[in-house]
Homo-oligomer: A and B are copies of this chain.
Amino acid sequence: MAQENVPTVDLRNGGTKNGCSKAVSFSALKPQLVVQAPKAAEAVQFYKAAFGAEELKRSMHPKRKADQELPLILSAELKLGSSVLLVCDQTDECVAKVKGEEKGSGCILCLETDNVETAVANAVKAGGVIIDGGELTDGEGACCGGRVGKVKDPYGYVWLICSPGKMCTDVEG
């Protein structure tokens, strides 16, 4: 139970000692690159060619405005070394609401944790601002599945705090 003086803190974050009310552990931090629609598919090809990225999963946007439109990528998950990079088309679901007033492409930081509520509460207590409606959503149709909270930090970066393992439905190929 006692967690003090743990020799390695690799997967534990010192929440309490740093002023958080409750310690939360994060299983992954995945940068998500938002690409001007409909170029996410092209961007995925680029990251494969440029860096040898390996595509793990891809989930597509369920709706298109017109049949002739290209299907948009809600989230493509790429393995790059031991890290994961997410790529998505800029859509209302994926970005416009997440980025708030910001337009154009940008990088969102996806943080995975089993304790989304506490993680979001800690971030808000530290000075972050919940965006996109102010409520934790269940994220269907969004970039993340499971519980999702979106917090903008005081420096303009958007953090997407979500449950792990439910990222994207598998729509490989």
> How many positions in chain A have a CB within 8 Å of any CB in the partner chain?
61
Q: How many copies does the complex hold?
A: 2
Please, which residue of chain B has its CB at the minimum distance from the CB of A107? B107
Q: Name the segment of A59-67, A81-89, A134-142 touching the other chain.
A: A81-89
| A169 contacts chain B at the CB level, 8 A cutoff | no
Please tell me if the beta carbons of B46 and A81 are within 8 angstroms of each other in the complex: no
Is the CB–CB distance between A153 and B10 below 8 Å? no
Q: In this assembly, does A70 line the interface, its C-beta being within 8 Å of a C-beta of chain B?
A: no
* Distance from A25 Cβ to chain B, minimum over Cβ atoms (Å): 7
Q: Does A57 contact B (CB under 8 A)?
A: no
Contact between chains at A155 and B39 (CB < 8 Å)? yes
Contact B82 A27 (CB under 8 A): yes
Q: How far is the CA of A47 from the CA of B18 in the complex (A)?
A: 9
Query: Can you name the residue of chain B whose Cβ is closest to the Cβ of A157?
Result: B33
Q: Which residues of A contact B (CB under 8 A)?
A: 9-11, 13-16, 18-20, 23-31, 33, 35-36, 39, 42-43, 46-54, 79-83, 85, 104-107, 109, 111-112, 119, 122-123, 125-128, 151, 153-157, 159
A/B interface sample: 13 pairs, CB < 8 A: A9-B54, A13-B79, A15-B51, A15-B52, A18-B48, A28-B81, A42-B154, A46-B154, A49-B125, A49-B126, A50-B151, A105-B156, A105-B157
